[in-house]
Chain A
Amino acid sequence: MTELAATDPLPKPKRDIAPILLPIALALVTIPLIGSPSTWLTLTAASLAMGMMIFIMASGLTLVFGLMDVLNFGHGAFIAVGAYVATLVFAPFAASIQADSLWINLAVLAPAALLSMAVSGALGLIVERVLILPVYGQHLKQILMTTGGLIVAEQTLYALWGPQIIPTPLPTSLRGSFILGDVAIAKYRVLATLIGLAVFVAIQLVLNRTKLGLLIRAGVENREMVEALGYRIRRLFLGVFMTGSALAGLGGVMWALYREQVHASMSDELTVLIFVVVIIGGLGSIGGCFIGAILVAMVANYGGFLVPKLALVSNILLMVAILMWRPRGLYAVTSR
C-alpha cells in the first residue's frame, strides 16, 4: 500500500556519503599509528596510485557483472594480454624509453597503451561471442568457461613469449620522485593517479551525461525493461564487455610499468584483488568500485607497513567487514 499521495511532497533523498568518508576516515586513523607524517604521505600516495590502477582494471568487470550478470573469471587474461602487447612496442623503442625527454617517453607509452587497449578490446569481442554468449544466465558454466579461457590465455602467452619474466623498466623521465620537504612521491605514482582519475571522470561523464550511459545504468538495474522499451541490450552488452576488456588492457600496461616486469601469471595476483573491489563496491557501481579500489590499496599499504603478517588476509578481512555493514556492497545498484 502506498504511503504518499501523488501530490504529497517527497522526503528529500539523502546523499549517501558514508562510503566516501570511509577512505578519508581510514587515512586519518592511520596518521597516529604510522607516526611519521612523511611516511604516511608516501603510503597514502602509493595507495592512491595502486587504487587507481586497480580501479581501471576492475571498472570494466563491475559493469560486466552488473549489466550482464556474467561471472567473468577470465578478466585477468585481458590484463596480462595488455601488458604483453605493450612489450611489443617497448622492445623496438627501448632507446626512446630511456631518453631523458618526457615527450619522447610519452610518444612510446601512449601508442603502447592504445595498442594494448585495442588488442584487449578485440580479444573481449572474441571472448564474448565465443565463450560468454552460449552461457548467458548460467553462472556455473560461465565460471567454467571463463576460467578455462584464462588458462588457455596464460598458456598461449607462455607459448608465444616463453616462461621468463620480461622486464619493463620505467621510462627515464618517470623514474625518481617529487620531493616535497622530507616527503618523496614517486613520479610514476602521480601519473598513475592522474590517469585513474581521468578514467573515472570519463566513465562518470558517459554514464551520467549521455543516453548511452543512461541505457547502461538502466540495464544494470533491469535488463528486461530496457528491452521492453525497444533497445537491443545484447549490443550494449558487447560494447560494455569490449570497453571493460580494453580498460583491463590499459590497467595491465600500467601495472607492468609499476612492477617493472611482465609475466603470464600476473593476472592471478590481480584477479582476487579485482573481485574483492567489485564485491566491496557493489556489483555494477562505478562509484563503489572507485572507493573500493582505494580502500583495498590503503589496507594493503597501511596494513603492510603496520602489520606485515596481516598483509595476506587484509583484503579479505576488509571485504568481510564491508559486507557485514552493507551486504550488497558500498553502493548497491542491482538486487543481485
Chain B
Amino acid sequence: MTDLLKLSGVHTHIGRYHILQGIDLAVPQGQTTMLLGRNGAGKTTTLRTIMGLWQASSGEISLAGQRIESRATPDIARLGVGYVPESMAVFSDLTVKENLVLAARDGPLDDTQLEWIFGFFPALRRFWLSRAGSLSGGQKQMLSIARAIIEPRKLLLIDEPTKGLAPAIVMALIECLKEIKRKGATILLVEQNFFAARELGDHVLVMDNGTIVHRGEMAALASDVPLQERLLGLSLEAHQ
C-alpha cells in the first residue's frame, strides 16, 4: 500500500505560537485515516498546513511524491486536494447550484456525479436554487462535502463534519462518507465523534500538543478502552 500524503518533521507557527511541533504522518492511498485528539491538539492546524492556508515553518509535505509545503493553496487544490473546513464555509450569498458550479473548477457540472451526490443529499436537489445562507446546519455540511466531491479528488481533507449536527444527520453523513470511501477515495478526517471515527476509520493518528502521540489501526484503538481513556480522556462507551 503506497502513501498518498506524507508529512515529515512539520512545524507550524501562528504568530508567536508554536502549534505543530514536528508532525510525522502518512496517509495511505484509498484508505481513511482518522486524526483524533483533544481540543487545541493541532488537528485543524495540520489540515490547514497541508492545504497551504498556513505555511509550514519547516519540514516536508509530499502529495503523490510531489513536494507541496511551499506551494500556494490554489496550486495544492489543483493537484486534486478537496478541503471541507470545520466552519463549512459555504458561500451563503450564492445558491446551492452556484456553490457547486464554483467547485466544479474544470468545466460544467457532471450530471452523473450530481445524481450520485443527490442520492445521499436529496435536500440539495430540493434547495438547488435557494441561497446557501438559508440552509440548516446539516444541509450546509452536506453542501460543503458535496463541493469537495463534485469532481474527482486524489485526497479529501475533512475537518469535523459531524460537529454540532443532529444524530439523524450524523448517521446520514457517515453513510455518505462510507460510500465515498467505497469509491476508493483517500481521506484524512478530523473527528471528535469517536463513534463516527470507529465507523469510518481504517487507520488512526492521535495528536496532543502539536505532535502525533499514537498511530495504528482504528479497530485496535476502538477495542482498547484503557488506551482510549489515556489518549483521548474518554472511552468509546461514553460516546454511545
Taking beta carbons and an 8 Å cutoff, which residues of A are in contact with B? 1-11, 13, 211, 214-215, 217-218, 220-222, 224-233, 333
Set of chain A residues within 8 Å of B138, measured between Cβ atoms: 2, 4-6
Set of chain B residues within 8 Å of A230, measured between Cβ atoms: 74, 77-78, 105
Say whether B101 contacts A8, CB under 8 Å.
no
Given A5-B166, A229-B147, the answer on whether A211 and B130 have CB atoms closer than 8 Å is: no
The residue on A at minimum CB distance from B84 is A228
Set of chain A residues within 8 Å of B93, measured between Cβ atoms: 217-218, 220-221, 333
27 contacts between A and B (CB under 8 A): A1-B164, A2-B165, A2-B166, A4-B136, A6-B123, A6-B168, A6-B169, A7-B122, A7-B123, A8-B136, A10-B134, A11-B134, A13-B130, A214-B98, A217-B91, A217-B93, A220-B93, A221-B93, A221-B94, A225-B85, A227-B72, A227-B73, A228-B53, A228-B83, A230-B78, A231-B102, A233-B74
Contact digits for B82-115, partner A, Cβ 8 Å, 1 yes 0 no: 0101000101111000100111010000000000
Q: How far is the CA of A251 from the CA of B168 in the complex (A)?
A: 55
Interface residues of B in 103-157 (CB under 8 A from A): 103, 105, 121-123, 126-127, 130-131, 133-139, 142, 147
Set of chain A residues within 8 Å of B83, measured between Cβ atoms: 228
Chain B's nearest CB lies how many Å from the CB of A209? 11
Cβ of B51 under 8 Å from chain A: yes
Given A2-B165, A2-B166, A5-B166, the answer on whether A214 and B101 have CB atoms closer than 8 Å is: yes
Say whether A228 contacts B51, CB under 8 Å.
yes
Say whether B142 contacts A211, CB under 8 Å.
no
Interface residues of B in 50-70 (CB under 8 A from A): 51, 53
Set of chain A residues within 8 Å of B91, measured between Cβ atoms: 217-218, 221-222, 225
The residue among B74, B77, B83, B105 with the most chain A CB atoms within 10 A of its own CB is: B74
Cβ of B172 under 8 Å from chain A: yes
Q: How far is the CA of A236 from the CA of B73 in the complex (A)?
A: 15
Set A2, A9, A211: member contacting B137, Cβ < 8 A: A2
Taking beta carbons and an 8 Å cutoff, which residues of B are in contact with A? 51, 53, 72-74, 77-78, 83, 85, 89, 91-94, 98, 101-103, 105, 121-123, 126-127, 130-131, 133-139, 142, 147, 164-166, 168-169, 172
Q: What is the count of residue pairs linking A and B with beta-carbon distances less than 8 angstroms?
A: 101
Say whether A6 contacts B74, CB under 8 Å.
no
Chain A's nearest CB lies how many Å from the CB of B132? 10
Say whether B74 contacts A232, CB under 8 Å.
yes
Chain B's nearest CB lies how many Å from the CB of A5? 6
Say whether A1 contacts B137, CB under 8 Å.
yes
Q: How far is the CA of A231 from the CA of B83 in the complex (A)?
A: 13
Say whether A211 contacts B139, CB under 8 Å.
no
Set of chain A residues within 8 Å of B92, measured between Cβ atoms: 221
Q: How far is the CA of A10 from the CA of B131 in the complex (A)?
A: 11
Set A6, A218, A231: member contacting B142, Cβ < 8 A: A6
Chain B's nearest CB lies how many Å from the CB of A73? 27
The residue on B at minimum CB distance from A6 is B123
Set of chain A residues within 8 Å of B85, measured between Cβ atoms: 225, 228
Say whether A231 contacts B74, CB under 8 Å.
yes
Say whether A225 contacts B98, CB under 8 Å.
no
Q: How far is the CA of A160 from the CA of B147 in the complex (A)?
A: 53
Set B89, B139, B164: member contacting A224, Cβ < 8 A: B89
Say whether B168 contacts A5, CB under 8 Å.
yes
Set B51, B73, B136: member contacting A2, Cβ < 8 A: B136
Set A1, A11, A221: member contacting B166, Cβ < 8 A: A1
Set B51, B94, B136, B164: member contacting A10, Cβ < 8 A: B136
Set of chain A residues within 8 Å of B101, measured between Cβ atoms: 211, 214
Set A2, A218, A232: member contacting B94, Cβ < 8 A: A218
Say whether A225 contacts B94, CB under 8 Å.
no
Set B127, B134, B136: member contacting A3, Cβ < 8 A: B136
Set B89, B136, B139, B142: member contacting A225, Cβ < 8 A: B89
Q: How far is the CA of A220 from the CA of B93 in the complex (A)?
A: 10
18 more CB-based (< 8 A) A-B contacts, given A1-B137, A1-B165: A2-B136, A3-B136, A4-B138, A5-B168, A5-B169, A6-B122, A6-B136, A6-B138, A6-B139, A6-B168, A6-B172, A10-B127, A221-B92, A225-B89, A227-B77, A231-B74, A231-B105, A232-B74
Given A6-B123, A225-B85, A230-B77, the answer on whether A13 and B131 have CB atoms closer than 8 Å is: yes
Set of chain B residues within 8 Å of A225, measured between Cβ atoms: 85, 89, 91
Chain B's nearest CB lies how many Å from the CB of A202? 19
Chain A's nearest CB lies how many Å from the CB of B78? 5
Set of chain A residues within 8 Å of B73, measured between Cβ atoms: 224, 227-228
The residue among A5, A6, A217, A227 with the most chain B CB atoms within 10 A of its own CB is: A6
The residue on A at minimum CB distance from B88 is A225
The residue on A at minimum CB distance from B98 is A214
Q: How far is the CA of A215 from the CA of B101 in the complex (A)?
A: 10
Chain B's nearest CB lies how many Å from the CB of A334? 10
Set of chain A residues within 8 Å of B165, measured between Cβ atoms: 1-2
Given A2-B137, A211-B102, the answer on whether A227 and B74 have CB atoms closer than 8 Å is: yes
Say whether B136 contacts A229, CB under 8 Å.
no
Chain B's nearest CB lies how many Å from the CB of A172? 46
